[in-house]
Structure 1
C-alpha cells in the first residue's frame, strides 16, 4: 500500500526540466542553454563517437577497453554513444555464457530476467566508469527499433505474440509496462509490477556525471524488422510515446538530459519527393510515413535536444546511379543538415548530428569534410560519425566472432562499411580537426 501511495504521488507530480526557480544540476552534468549545451557554466561543444553494442561493451579485456578510450581521448572525442541494452532469448543463454557474450536481459516468457552480474550490467558499469576516467561522457539508448542485440521486437514477440505489427510496441500497455513501470497501468490493474528496464537503468546511473543523456530508442519508426500497421504513420502515435516516456524518465531523473534517438524524419505538409523512371515518389524522410515529426517531437517539454541521422547512400540506393538522376549524396546531406539546423534554431534547442556515414573510403574522404564543415558553420555542429573503429585489439588474439556477422578481425573492431580507423588519415583528420574547433568553442 505504501508503494502504491508513493507511486500515485509520483504519477501526479509534474517535473518538466529546468525553470528559473529550479535548483542547479549537480556538478559536471551537461545542461541545455538555448540551442547550445553547457558544462559547469561554460559552453560545451564536441565531436563524439558511436561505438555500437557490437563491440565496446562486449569486450572482455580491460586493456582493450582502456586502449580504445585512450585513443578516443587523443582524438578529442568528448561524448560516446552506445547501447544501454543487450538482450537475448533464453535459448541463447548457454552459448552466451560459453562465448562470454555480454547480455543484460534474458527472455523466456512475457517476463524478462535481469543480468546484473559480471557478464551483464557490471560490464556497462565498467564502460561508463572508464569513459569518465578519460573525460568522456556517455549517451545511453534504452532499446533498439531493430532486432539486433535485443531491441523492441523482443518485447513484441514475447508479450504481444506472433503476427503483430511493429508499432504495437508504442501502444500495447503490457509492452509499455515492461519497457518501463507504467504507473497508469499499475494503478488500473491493482497490483505491483516488477521494476522494468528503463527504471533499472536510470536508477543505476542517475547520479553519474559520466552520463550525458538518456535516449528513448535508437531510430524509432512505425516499422522495424516487422511491418507497420496503418494506425501509426501520420497519426501522432510515436510523438505521444516520446512524450509519455520522456515524462516518465524525467520523474525518475530530473538532472540528466533526455532525447529521442530518432533519425530526424520530418512530417511536412508540402510535397517532397523525387522522380524515378518517370514516376514521382513521395519521400519517406519528409512525408510522415516513418511516424516521426522532427519539429513537433523537438518541441516536447521533456525532450532537451534533437537527434538525426544521415545515410543518403543507404536510404536512396536506387537513386545513386548517374543514368537515372542528378541525385548527389553530398548535396542531399548538406540540405538535410541545413533543414535540421533550421528546425533547431526555431525550437531554440540543441541538435546533434548523431549518426552519419557513407560507404567507400574515397566517398568518406570527399564528402565528410563538407558535411562536417556545414554542421560547424550552422553552429549546431555537435557531430557523432558512425562509427569509431579501433585497431590493435588483443582479445582472443585479435580474432573473435561476437554475434551475427560482428567480429574482431586481425585486431580491428567490427567494420560495417561505415567504420573509420586511425590509419585512414584523411578521414581521421576531418574529425580530429573538428574536435579542435569544438574545443576552442568550449572555453
Structure 2
C-alpha cells in the first residue's frame, strides 16, 4: 500500500469514527412542524431520508439484544438517515406490550423507552404506530378477540372501526403510549421531540366497506382524540394510498382493486398533518414484469404527489417501499436499481414542489436477525452498495432542503 493510499485509508477510518462518536452525543431536537404544505424544523424546510425498522421494541425486550437497535441507529445516522418508523404496539402473544385491554408489561414498555432514548442519542426522529391492521403483533384481530372474550357481540374484524368497546380499547392504548413517562429520559412521550409523528394504524383496510367511509369516520374520531391529548406532535393515518369513492376517477390508479380506504377524503381531515403512501408492486401486481411494476409505482407516486400539492395541500411521505429477495429473478443490482429509481422520483418531485418531504425504505435490520427476515431486509454493514445509494439520497435531500 502506497503512503498516499495508507493516508486515505487512515483518514477514512478517522472520519467514520468521528461520525459514529458524534452520533452518540444526545442532540438538541426541536419539534418538526408543518407550514405551507411542507415540513419545517426551526423555521426552515425539513426534508429527510428515512427507514422502517418495525422490530425495535420487540428485540429490545431482551437487554442482551439491545445492541442491535443501537447498531441500526448508529449505521443509519452515519449515512444520513434521520427518520425511523417503528411499532409502539404488540398486542397479546409473545413479548406483548399490551397483555390484555389496559394491562401492560412494564418490561416491554421499558424496551420502547430504550428505543426512543437511543433514537435521540443518534439524532434520529421516530414515527410511532399505534396498532396493526394485520394479525402480526396482535393487531385489530386481537382487539376483536378481546372484545369477544368479554362477551361483546362482534360480526367481523372490521367492527374494530365502529364498535364502541373496541374504539375505547384503542383510545386507552393511545392515551397510555402518548402519556408514557420514559424511564430512561424522564420525559413524557408527548413532550419528546424525538418522536416526529404518531401513526393511527399500520395500513388500515376494511373489507366491509370499500367506499372508504368507515375508515374515514374512524380516522376522524381517532385523530381528534390524539390531538386532544397531544397537540405538539404531527399525526398521520398510516395509509397505503388507495383511492376511494370521494374521487372515483382516481380509482384508475389503484392496482386493480380497493382496500376500503380513501386517500383523498381521509387525508383532508383537519387533524391529519401529512399524507403517506406505501407501494409493493411485486405483491400488488404479481406476474407482471419489472418494467410494468416500475411504471405502476411511478404513476402511483406522481398521482399522489399531485393530490398532495393541489387537493390535500399537506406534506407527503413515501412511507414504505422496497424490493424483496423472494421475487423471481431477484438480484442485488436489481434491488439497488429499483430503490434508486424510487429515490430519483422522490428527489425530483421534492425539487419541483413543496409537498414531497421524503421516503422511508422497508426495511433496515442489524446483523444476526435472520428470524425477522421478510425478504426486504437490508443490513447496512453487509450491503455496501445499497448503503451507498441510501447515503447518496440522504445527502441530496439535505442539500435540497438547504437550498430552499
Q: TM-score range by the shorter chain?
A: 0.7 to 0.9
Give the aligned partner of residue 164 of structure 1: 155
Give SS of 1:328's match.
helix
Q: Any conservation in 1 of the 2:72–2:364 contact (CA below 8 Å)?
A: no
Is 2:212–2:262's contact at 8 Å kept on the other side of the alignment? no
Question: Alpha-carbon deviations, 1:37-60, whole Å to 9, x = none?
Answer: 111112211111100127554553
Q: Partners of 1:417 and 1:297 in 2: how far apart?
A: 31
Distance 1:122 1:310, change over 3 A: same
Report the Cα offset of residue 150 of structure 1: 1.4
1:85 deviation in Å?
0.4
Distance 1:38 1:213 in 2: 13
Residues 243 and 251, structure 2, Cα contact 8 Å, conserved in 1: no
The equivalent of 1:191 in structure 2 is: none
Over aligned residues, Cα RMSD in angstroms?
2.2
Pairwise mapping of residues 186-265 of structure 1 onto structure 2 (< 5 A)? 196-204=172-180, 205-222=189-206, 228-229=207-208, 232-234=209-211, 236-265=213-242
Match of 2:285 in 1: 316
Superposed, 1:399-414 pairs within 5 Å as 408-409=369-370, 414=372
**Shift in CA distance, 168/338, structure 1 to aligned 2, threshold 3 Å:** same
Contact preservation (8 Å) 2:236, 2:275: yes
Distance in 2 (alpha carbons) for counterparts of 1:103 and 1:272: 38
Shift of 1:371: 1.3
The answer as to whether partners of 1:284 and 1:290 remain within 8 angstroms in 2 is no
> Is 2:168 aligned against 1:177?
yes
SS in 1 for 2:50: strand
Residue from 74, 80, 85 that aligns with 1:81: 85
Cα separation, 2, equivalents of 1:87 and 1:246: 21
Conserved? CA contact 1:50–1:388, under 8 Å: yes
Residue 431 (str. 1) matches residue 390 (str. 2): yes
Q: Secondary structure at the match of 1:82?
A: strand
Map 1:44-443 to 2 at 5 A: 44-53=46-55, 56-58=59-61, 60-61=63-64, 62-89=66-93, 96=94, 102-107=95-100, 111-115=101-105, 117=106, 119-160=107-148, 164-180=155-171, 196-204=172-180, 205-222=189-206, 228-229=207-208, 232-234=209-211, 236-267=213-244, 268-270=247-249, 285=255, 289-317=258-286, 319-320=287-288, 328-346=292-310, 347-359=312-324, 360=330, 361-379=332-350, 380-391=356-367, 398=368, 408-409=369-370, 414-422=372-380, 423-443=382-402
User: Matches of 1:387 and 1:315 in 2, distance apart?
Assistant: 18
Larger helix percent: 2
On the 8 A contact 2:227/2:271 being kept in 1, the answer is: yes
TM-score for the superposition, normalised by structure 1: 0.74
Distance in 1 between residues matched to 2:42 and 2:314, nearest whole Å: 18
Shift of 1:425: 2.7
Sort the Cα spacing of 1:63 and 1:426 in 2 relative to 1 into closer, same or farther, 3 A: closer
> How far does the alpha carbon of each residue in 1:199-256 deviate from its partner, in whole angstroms, 9 at most, with x for none?
011112101111100100000000xxxxx33xx2215111111111000000001110
Describe the superposition over 1:391-413 as per-residue Cα deviations: whole angstroms up to 9, x where unpaired. Answer: 2xxxxxx4xxxxxxxxx24xxx7
**Structure 1 residue 165 displacement after superposition:** 1.8
Q: Residue 321 of structure 1: CA displacement?
A: 5.1
SS at match of 1:139: strand
Provide Cα deviations, 1:163-209, integer angstroms capped at 9, x if missing partner: 732211000001001111xxxxxxxxxxxxxxx11101111210111
Deviation for aligned residue 1:429: 1.9
1:53–1:86 CA contact under 8 A, matched in 2: no
CA deviations over 1:369-404 (Å, ceiling 9, x no partner): 11110111111141100001222xxxxxx4xxxxxx
From the superposition, tell whether residues 240 and 165 of structure 1 become closer, same or farther in structure 2 (CA, over 3 Å).
Answer: same
Shift of 1:358: 1.7
Q: Secondary structure at the match of 2:141?
A: helix
1:82-111 CA-to-partner distances (Å, cap 9, x unmatched) read: 00001224xxxxxx5xxxxx431113xxx4
Q: Is the 8 A contact 1:156 1:164 kept in 2?
A: no
Shift of 1:299: 1.0
Task: State the number of aligned residues.
Answer: 347
